[in-house]
A and B are shown apart, each in its own frame.
Chain A
Amino acid sequence: MEEPLLELKNVTKEYTIGGGLGLTERKTIRAVDKVSFTILGKKPTIVALVGQSGSGKTTIARIILGLLEPTSGEVLYKGKDTRLWLKKDKKTYRHNVQVIFQDPYGIYNPFYRVDRVLFKAVKKFGLASSSEEAHKMVIESMRAMGLRPEDLLGRYPHQISGGERQRLMLVRILLMKPKLVVADEPVSMIDVSLRSIFLNNLQDLKERIEMSCLYITHDLNIAHYVADEIIVLCHGRIVEIGDAKSIVKDPLHPYSQNLVNAIPIPDPTKRWKDAAQIKEVTFEELRAEQGCMYSHKCPHVMPMCKKEVPPLTELGSGRKAACFLYPR
């Protein structure tokens, strides 16, 4: 059997907070709790990791990229632990696992021209044999992503828009041809009119270089549009996995149902049905102490939900949910 492209096995990350000067209590927070999932990568797939803020999305991304060490569990890239990759063959790993960060303003050095990120990559990974060839490659790749090289080459970061900066990252990916791209909220800081161009480019790129992508977002409108599969994360635990269209159409886990119901549909004839009521906000704990993380808010809560953590159960056709309501 061929090894999956990326496999997370019981990945857990704990952060310790407090304890400064002995004034506050030291606490351990489990940001990511036994997360396991696989991206097979046999055919190019975009997998969206969806959750509210604080659900551990970015922590998972950083662990995959080797920027953070997991407290326990392992991340396997092509069957080999990422820590081993980074120790033994860092260059290959960095070449094949690329990243797009959220902030298109922070990643460019304001003193260098923007095309440096492209030429550096070509040089460092030896993608071209001469500088003429490098130049030709960069120009071709920019054109392929619908960018005009004559407008962008030689410009400084402040002279181009956030949308173009993020699309230059896609050009870099087209040059590098990685197997996996981790994209952490890549469109949240760019303008609405430019977002869909980026998303269409990303999908085009997926087919063109046959890469898979872990797309991290809190916006289900975008996840549904761009992804093939969706993983729903609730306070560091996976609560549901499935095909993107069916998760949005028919969410099984009560937490996913809550997320889907909160999606603002950009159509005034489809407003929220419960728009007129104000619900009392309460000081409930953000997450349940024991059992299912969502048990304190769940409308279908049963006594066992508060005691045991529901396992992620296979429900057929690639759908999995971690809820005692299933299988029915």
Chain B
Amino acid sequence: MRKTDRILQVEDLRVYYKSIFGDVRSVDGVSFSVGSNEVFGIAGESGCGKSTLVEGILRVIMPPGYIKSGKIMFKEKDLLSLEEEEMRRLRWTELSYIPQGSMSSLNPVLKIEEQMVDAVTSHMSTPKEEASNMAISSLKEVGLPLEVAGMYPHELSGGMKQRVIIATAILLKPSLIVADEPVTALDVVVQKGILQSIANLRDIYGITVIFVAHDLAAHAQIVDRLTVMYAGKIAEIGSVYDIFGDPLHPYSKLLVAAIPSIEKEAVQGIPGLAPSPLDWPPGCRFHPRCPYAIPVCPHDEPPLKEMSPGRYAACHLLG
């Protein structure tokens, strides 16, 4: 990827939570970059730091969470050095965020249109009428009928509410949208529709998407490049075809082999437990569960190395 193609670059980001037992190192030295116009997936088990990572990137991490160190470059801007007010102006206009479970956080006493107009007028000096038009065209873009604008959240189904959230996220035509588990809690048929609309954000509007989900099947359907996280660190980054077709890191290998599918006869789980962020194992954090561990693994932490252009993995077994 050429340097100019990068829209977001994260370098050695550490996001910790303060606790009486010391720092909880949820995101512990994560580096990656996202190219413009791609759907970039972040996968991993619960507790691996996916949500904390994106909250850190968008600077919406709540205390006791805090950004320990690192650098986040978004289009030539260093996000961590921006004033809060500058950061606020970037949100929605340049960076949109669809938090986990956001479809249940729509205001129950405001009509959909009013909530969307609020989002516009608090970021731009757009007249109300124009903001209304923007809201309506945005709803249309995600496939919702116009009546939705005049309705209240309780009148909509879960899938429709999730579409309203996506419509709000694209209102001000941001360059990057971060969606955290947007399809969990929706059933299969609705899930398919939402995943299609997310893929469309890139295909039709040229918006870059960071898609966070624990469900690897969803990643396989829509993302271009995939990051596999384990215990606060990146295990592997690569094109989704490479990660599913030829995973390098033992964790990605086992994870891909562990998903039941109508195309597979037998699947095997990964034995052992995901470690606690209060007490990550020394050396490679995956070594207690790794069937391929060698004597060096419990001692040295493997660095994330570029194995081939655009393909990174952190494992001692790989050259």
Contacts and interface: CB of A to CB of B under 8 A. Distances in A.
Nearest to A224: B262
Contacts of A282: 145
A86 interface: no
B220 A271 contact: yes
Contacts of A194: 269-270
Contact of B258 (A161, A193, A281): A193
B45 interface: yes
Contacts of A281: 143-145, 159-160, 163, 193
B159 A264 contact: no
A211 B118 CA distance: 57
Contacts of A222: 260
B273 interface: yes
A72 interface: no
A39 to B, nearest CB: 22
Interface residues of B, number: 54
Interface range on chain A (Cβ under 8 Å from partner): 35 or more
Interface in B190-211: 190-193, 195-197, 199-200, 203
Contacts of B267: 196, 199-200, 225
A144 interface: no
Contact of B187 (A218, A265, A269): A218
Contacts of B260: 195-196, 199, 221-222, 224-226
Contacts of A52: 187-190
Given A52-B189, A221-B217, A268 B144 contact: no
> Which of A221, A248, A274 lies at the interface centre, i.e. has the most chain B CB atoms within 10 A of its CB?
A221
A262 B45 CA distance: 23
A112 interface: no
Contact of B269 (A193, A268, A279): A193
Main secondary structure of the interface of A (DSSP, over half): loop
Nearest to B196: A275
A264 B145 contact: no
A266 B159 CA distance: 22
Contacts of B270: 193-194, 197
B143 A276 contact: no
B221 interface: yes
A193 B273 CA distance: 9
B86 interface: no
A265 B262 contact: yes
A226 B267 CA distance: 11
A237 B49 CA distance: 42
B32 interface: no
Contact of B191 (A197, A225, A264, A270): A264
Contact of B244 (A199, A219, A263, A267): A267
B261 A278 contact: no
B255 A193 contact: yes
A262 B214 contact: no
Given A192-B45, A278-B200, A266 B256 contact: yes
A191 interface: yes
Contacts of B199: 275-276
Contacts of B163: 281
Contact of A272 (B143, B221, B263): B221
B216 A192 contact: yes
> Which of A267, A271, A277 lies at the interface centre, i.e. has the most chain B CB atoms within 10 A of its CB?
A267
Interface string A271-315: 110111111111100100000000000000000000000000000
Contact of B220 (A146, A197, A267, A277): A267
Interface in A218-270: 218-222, 224-226, 248, 258-259, 262-270
A200 B266 CA distance: 9
A53 interface: yes
B273 A161 contact: yes
B193 A193 contact: no
Contact of A192 (B160, B220, B258): B258
Nearest to B254: A193
Q: Which 5 A-B pairs have the closest CB atoms?
A: A197-B269, A264-B217, A225-B260, A193-B270, A266-B217
Given A224-B260, A264-B218, A265-B217, 5 more contacts: A197-B271, A265-B221, A278-B200, A281-B145, A281-B160
14 contacts: A52-B187, A53-B187, A196-B260, A221-B260, A224-B260, A262-B189, A264-B192, A267-B220, A269-B244, A269-B245, A270-B220, A271-B220, A274-B196, A275-B195
